[in-house]
Structure 1
Amino acid sequence: MESSTTGEDNFNVEGYNSNNIKKARLNSTLAALLEDPILADVPKKPSLSDVDTLISLELGSAMRISVLKLDGTSIDVAVLNIATVKDLKLAIKQKVNEMEQSKMGHRHISWKHVWGNFCLLYHNEKLHDDKAALQGFGIRNNSKVQFVPYVVSKNAGRHSKRRKHRFFHGLNKRA
């Protein structure tokens, strides 16, 4: 009986080792594929949605958009042809967070602050409405969109935080 249990233990250990060997081979093959220049646009740790978007891009049902940042550099994002402004913002957020992770490790970017102070511009038209389709603005494959500072007009009825602070600060002094 002891010999049969020893044989089963060896089988489990061998099975475990063969699984590790298979995983190591798969990881090395995947790493070699991702270093291929043809697959340069695939992220290092691709999710299913990333791969789906890249396949759609190859099939023509997605578009690549260049986003020009304020420092003059640009990033490329891929979104579906039926994407909205919100989808583009999410793709930019994902791409920038991925780039920051690979360069600097964990770093938090306040996207509420970014979208509160900057907006996207395409052919002198600001992309304000998150629900609007990109194709409605004329954005197609290989279009260039840029970040611009977003200043709320005085007619919009919103005050800056500084004015609110001064307003409430003045009320406290009178009391």
Structure 2
Amino acid sequence: MVSVLTLNFELATLQDLPRVVAIYNQSIPGRLATADLEPVSVASRQAWFAAFDPSRRPLWLMKENGNDVGWVGLEDFYGRPAYSHTAEISIYIDQHHHHEHFGQQALTYVFAQLPRLELQALVAFVFAHNQPSLGLFAKNGFAEWGLLPGVAELDGQRRSLAILGRRFD
């Protein structure tokens, strides 16, 4: 039997941005979760962070026993009013906490928040070679809504981007 640790979710504050960035930067060398090729700075992510709105598009820190083990955020999709009931979801887990089912807990938590946030659909952009993330989203009812073949180049290899989505209405 697998023991699953229970997480707490807290709205991220500007003081949390260095930790959010540190967790994000951990994902860059693996070439699975982001198209950034070099670490990003806290300063470069301030405008991005400021776009999160706790009442509409929150960014939550995932905490286990008071330690930040990841984050999950919802961002506007495509920036046009007709898409106001759709958000893009991003989940990043600290590298020391992979395979602890925190991604699943993040999705379960976010799904429970959707009525309050007036969201009817979520989209996720996932590299087509990122099997762990594809599996997590598929297990949670997401389907492939599109594929952008060979749109990214990572270390000399062209990589495709899957567009995953799920409706909640």
Same fold (TM over 0.5): no
Larger Rg: 1
- Structure-2-length-normalised TM-score: 0.29
More helix by share: 1
- Structure-1-length-normalised TM-score: 0.28
More strand by share: 2
